[in-house]
Amino acid sequence: MAETILCPHCLSRVEVGKEQCPFCDKPLVNSNPPGTLPFAALLGRRYTVGRHIATDGEGILYAAVENTGGVRVMLKEYFPVTLSEGRGPDGCVVPKEGREVLFKTTRMDFADLYRSVMRITPATGLAAVLDVLEENDTVYAVLEQVSGETLAHYLTAHPRCMTPAEARSMLQPVMEGVAALHKAGLVHRGVSPANILLAAGGSARLCGYGTLGLRTAGSELKSQLYDGYSAPEQYSPAEFEGRYTDVYGLAAVFYRLVTGQAPVSAVQRKVSDSLLAAQEVEPGVPGYLSNVLEAALALAPGDRLQNVPELMGALTSQRAAESLTRPEPPAPRDGRISAKSLFAGSLVVILVLFLLLMWSILDRNAPTAESQPASTPPASSEPAQIKTIPNFVGLTFLQVNTDPEYSAGYRFDIVSQEYSSEYGNGVIISQEPEAGTTTSEEKKTISLVVSKGPEMVEMPNIVGFTRESAEKELTDNHIKASFFLQENNGDYASNCVVYTDVEPGTFIDVNKTIVNVYIAKERVVYDPPAATEPPAE
């Protein structure tokens, strides 16, 4: 039986080698650049290669189709130009002579990176890696195709400055995605408007995964960095990169959104740091937020905010921002102690010696136990007062902690905070000891469980996801769902999400809402009967 592909144009099933699709009449002949995979080629007996999209120092990006479900995807082929001789007649990637070991090592780095990302996606704010396969003596990563435009393209069409609230809302899922990468031990190193996709519905996702070599100048690969967004340490292979490298990129994107201009390139800043504070560029930026961006864009990694949760908190809360950016008192120069500090220390020593001398004199003159008259027994104390603990459930922690009637007799300790659809944020859910319990303690400690309010989660855009990927995305977001099959007249990819009854981007209470998800049934595609030989005369 002849092998088949899906037409990259109309997704109809066609025999491999056909020069034209019999269903849409569009050409299937190779139109991709020399050295790339041919258009309409079959890869791994599962994917149909589409058009060439881009090439970087690490490899080649193609549009493609997953043949089983008819899902449009992206293919990233590991094909480093500095280490590869070219492609052989059999389609295999040939390493340069003398570079075979390095080619294999970096190929393993590529495979490990995408397999690691595949284990944590789909996830909020990250474009999903769907598959990793090895063929043609190289490695292919299969990526989710996100419909929408890049943030770079959007900013070109919408040059106005965003408000801090708009910028936080847009970048929140991306920051959460980068935090998820860091939790898995990964660093992105390519955070920039070019690698942030604004999907249909407005949600942002980070793509553009790359190995260390691609994101570091002077490496064995032809590097791809982003002026204004790549951190200073990325411009030298001798410097170590870490989570703070992505903090720099996220802060640089935020700076661009609220000021309307990209930060000065790190290379230029290392020569002469002319980066203006965000508030100097755009007076509408609050001072605390400008200080946060300045701290996150520090040239020296040690002077920078160190992780994404710190950055997220500081961009959201002025109090958190001020606690992170408040300058420490300057240390004495050259390690010398100032005269003022020396004088103050001397006074402390003299005072301590004086107190010791007085104590010694008083102790020597104190009467002995034998010379003291017999002491009278202390008067019996009054019996402890018994009180009944009131019911604090339903009151806010602020109420009970500031009410003089409560605070005089009780000490309140929050032992945990939980999401609740019944109680609002800050309201007490339960207490220990329970209401009605009696106590004789003058200041009884009451342990409280306080509500964080409903667990509100933004509905992700899962249209086009396979059922398995959609279930994982919803589970990761704690969203409950019911799945229903949708009739498929050929317009939808089989076993993929057609629509949901909750619009993407809507915030829902996950403890009260069940989302209905509609999955396309198997699509019916007409396969013409094979041509038969005319009967012999």
241, 187 Cβ separation under 8 angstroms: yes
Residue 192 and residue 120 in one domain: no
Residue 127 and residue 166 in one domain: no
* Distance from C-alpha of 231 to C-alpha of 275, rounded to nearest angstrom: 14
pLDDT score of 11 more than 50: yes
Q: Which residue has the tokens 């306080």?
A: 450
62, 53 Cβ separation under 8 angstroms: yes
3-class SS at 412? Answer: strand
Task: Considering only residues 125 and 371, tell me which one the structure prediction assigns the higher pLDDT.
Answer: 125
Query: Is 248 part of any domain?
Result: yes
Q: What is the pLDDT of residue 371?
A: 46
Q: What is the pLDDT of residue 248?
A: 95
Q: What is the pLDDT of residue 335?
A: 47
- Integer-rounded Cα Rg, in Å, for the chain is 33
pLDDT score of 382 more than 70: no
Q: What is the pLDDT of residues 408-448, one digit of tens each?
A: 889 888 888 888 888 888 899 999 999 989 998 888 999 99
Domain assignment of residue 45, given as a range: 4-144
Query: Is 266 part of any domain?
Result: yes
Highest mean pLDDT range out of 79-93, 158-172, 346-360, 382-396?
A: 79-93
Give me the phi and psi of 514, to 5 degrees please: -115, 120
Q: What is the pLDDT of residues 264-278, one digit of tens each?
A: 999 999 888 889 999
Cβ-based burial of 319 (10 A; exposed 0-12, middle 13-18, buried ≥19): exposed
251, 299 Cβ separation under 8 angstroms: no
Identify the band that residue 356 occupies on the pLDDT scale cut at 50, 70 and 90.
Answer: low
The CATH code of the domain that includes 114 is: 3.30.200.20
Residue 100 and residue 159 in one domain: no
519, 496 Cβ separation under 8 angstroms: yes
Residues 6+ apart with CB under 8 A from 360: none
525, 497 Cβ separation under 8 angstroms: no
Strands (E), 387-455: 387-388, 410-418, 428-432, 438-439, 444-451
Quote the percentage of the chain above a pLDDT of 90: 45
Q: What is the pLDDT of residue 345?
A: 60
pLDDT score of 187 more than 90: yes
Residue whose C-alpha is closest to residue 189's, from 153, 148, 143, 237: 237
Q: What is the pLDDT of residues 147-159, one digit of tens each?
A: 888 999 999 988 8
Query: Is 333 part of any domain?
Result: no
Which of 114, 144, 174 delimits the end of a domain?
144
Strand partners, 448: 414, 431
Residue 284 and residue 161 in one domain: yes
Mean pLDDT within 192-218 = 88
Residue 216 and residue 196 in one domain: yes
HSE on the CB side for 427, CA within 13 Å? Answer: 13
State the chain's mean pLDDT as an integer: 85
Q: What is the pLDDT of residue 325?
A: 64
Identify the band that residue 208 occupies on the pLDDT scale cut at 50, 70 and 90.
Answer: very high
Residue 291 and residue 184 in one domain: yes
Query: Is 74 part of any domain?
Result: yes
Q: What is the pLDDT of residues 519-528, one digit of tens each?
A: 988 866 545 5
Neighbours of 439 (CB within 10 A): 18
Residue 165 and residue 300 in one domain: yes
The CATH code of the domain that includes 173 is: 1.10.510.10
Identify the band that residue 79 occupies on the pLDDT scale cut at 50, 70 and 90.
Answer: very high
Mean pLDDT within 170-177 = 90
Strand partners, 418: 451
Mean pLDDT within 74-78 = 96
* Distance from C-alpha of 399 to C-alpha of 391, rounded to nearest angstrom: 13
Q: Where are the alpha helices (DSSP H) in 78-207?
A: 100-120, 151-157, 164-183
Mean pLDDT within 90-112 = 93
The CATH code of the domain that includes 496 is: 3.30.10.20
Residues 6+ apart with CB under 8 A from 17: none
pTM to 2 decimals? 0.61
Q: Which residue has the tokens 């905070």?
A: 417
Residues 6+ apart with CB under 8 A from 440: 384, 385, 386, 387
Identify the band that residue 141 occupies on the pLDDT scale cut at 50, 70 and 90.
Answer: very high
Residue type, 235: Y
89-98, 137-146, 247-256, 332-341: segment of lowest average pLDDT: 332-341
Number of folded domains that form the chain: 4
